[in-house]
Amino acid sequence: MQILKLKLINYRNFISEEFNFSKYKNIIIGNNGMGKTNIVEAIYYLAITKSFRTFDDNVLVNIDKEFSTIKGDIYHNSKKEYKIVIEKNGKKVFIDSKQINKISDYISKINVIMFNQEDLKLIKANPSMHRKLINMEISQLDNEYLKLLSDYNKVLKQRNTYLKSMLTNSMIPKEYLDILTGKLIELGLKINVLRKNYIDEINKYLNDNFKKITKKEGLYLKYISEYNDLTKEDLIKKYNQMYKKDLNYGKTNIGIHLDDFIFYYKNKMAKDYLSEGEQKNAVISFKLAEINIFYYQAKTMPILILDDLFSELDNQKINKIIKFLKKSIQLFITTTDLDNIDEKILKNCRVFKLKDKKIEVKDYE
C-alpha cells in the first residue's frame, strides 16, 4: 500500500500544496514550525480520520479559513482517491468522489503505522494511552471493532447518567440499569475477544523481533481485563457486586473501558527491569510486530511514518528499524537535518525540504 499523491487545502499552514511521493522512502526535513509533521499528520488523518496530535479537528483548519481538505491517491492493487473535508460542524469522507456516510465504513481502507516520540513512552504510559493505541490499530484491521467500541461507549454513558439519576432520586427503578448492564456486557465481551486476539497476534512476533535487535528474549505483552475468561453470567454477578460502589460514585467501575496492556520481560514488568535503551528497543519490536500483523493478516504492507525520532533514537536504532522492514513498505521520515540520516537510508529516497514557505524536492539514487 502506498500514498502516491497528497493534496492539502487550508490544512494548518498549507493553503494549497501538492506532494508527489516516492513509493518507497520519503524524508521531510525542516526546522521546527515549518510544517513537516503537518504533512505526515495529514497522511495519518486521511487513514484514521483522527489526528495523533489533537482531539480538536478545528485546529487542523487554517486559522483564516472555514474548511480544510485532505486528498490522497492511494495504491493498493488499484488506485483510489480518498478525501476528507473538515468543517466546523464536522467532517465528510469520500472514496473516488462518493461520500461515505459511516466513518466505520471508511476506516481500515488505508493502513498506517505511526511511530513518534510519544510511542517511546509506551511502556511507562498510563492505561488510557495503551487503550488509545490498541484501539487505533485494531480499527484499521477490523472496521466492525470501531462500531462495537462506539456502541459500548454510548451504553456506558447512558449507564453512568442513569446511575447519577438513581443517586439523586431513590424512586428510580433499577430494572433499566440492569438492561443497560446487559447491553454493556454483550458489547464488552465482543471487544474483549478482538483485543485478546490482537494481543495474541502481537506476541507471535514481539519476542522474536526483540531477540533479533537485542539478543535477549522474554518480552511479551499482557492483556489486563476484568472480562478475561468470564461468561456473561459471571460478569452480571460482578456488576451486581459493584452496584453500591457504582451508585455512590455515579459511574461504572468495571468494564473494558478500564482495560490495560502491559509489557512484561521474563514475567516481570518491563518498565521496572529494562533499561531506557532496552525499553525503546521493546517499543521498536512492538511497532515491527504491528507491521508483521498487517502483512500476514491484512495481506498488505502499511504506510510507516517515523516522526521526529532522531532526537530520541540514535542512528543505530533507526537503522535497526529500517533493516527489518520489507523493501516494499512505503516509509516517511521527518527530521530537522539531513545530517541525522545515514547514507544507506538516503539511497533511492525522495527528500522534501521545507524552508521559507518553499518546498524543494530532490531524488537520491
Q: Specify the residue for cell string 520519503.
A: 26
Name the pLDDT band for 221 (thresholds 50, 70, 90).
very high
The domains of the chain, with CATH numbers, are 1-111+302-365 (3.40.50.300), 122-299 (1.20.1050.90)
What is the value of pTM for the model shown? Answer: 0.86
Query: 119: pLDDT confidence band, cut at 50, 70 and 90?
Result: confident
Q: Report the distance separating Cα 248 and Cα 17, nearest Å.
A: 54
Element (H, E) at 173: none
Q: Which of 28-37, 172-181, 227-236 has the lowest mean pLDDT?
A: 28-37
157 pLDDT tier (thresholds 50, 70, 90): very high
Give yes or no for residue 41 having a pLDDT over 90: yes
* The pLDDT of residue 358: 87
Cα separation, 322 vs 333, in Å, equals: 11
The whole-number pLDDT of residue 313 equals 72
Angle at 164 between CA 160 and CA 168, to 5 degrees: 165
pLDDT at 330 over 90: yes
> What mean pLDDT value characterizes the chain?
90
What distance in Å separates the CA atoms of residue 273 and residue 277, rounded to the nearest whole number?
12
Contact in structure between 274 and 123 (CB atoms under 8 Å): yes
List, in sequence order, every residue forming a beta bridge with 269; answer none if it has no partner.
Answer: 264
Q: What is the DSSP string of 259-316?
A: -EEEEEETTEEHHHHS-HHHHHHHHHHHHHHHHHHHHHHSSSPPEEEEES-TTTS-HH
Which pLDDT value is given to residue 249?
93
Contacts of 48 (CB under 8 A, 6+ apart): 107, 112, 136, 139, 140
Q: Could you tell me the pLDDT band of residue 121, with boundaries at 50, 70 and 90? A: confident
The answer, yes or no, to whether residue 274 has pLDDT greater than 80, is yes
Q: Report whether 122 contacts 286 (CB < 8 A).
A: yes
Looking at the predicted structure, is the pLDDT value of residue 166 above 80?
yes
Task: Provide mean pLDDT across the span 200-205.
Answer: 95
Percent above pLDDT 70 for the chain: 99
Q: Is residue 136 classed as helix, strand or coil in its secondary structure?
A: helix
* Greater pLDDT, 114 or 159: 159
Average of per-residue pLDDT across 181-199: 96
Whether 325 shows a pLDDT value over 80: the answer reads: no
pLDDT value of position 132: 87
Residue 295 has pLDDT above 90, yes or no: no
pLDDT at residue 44, as a whole number: 94
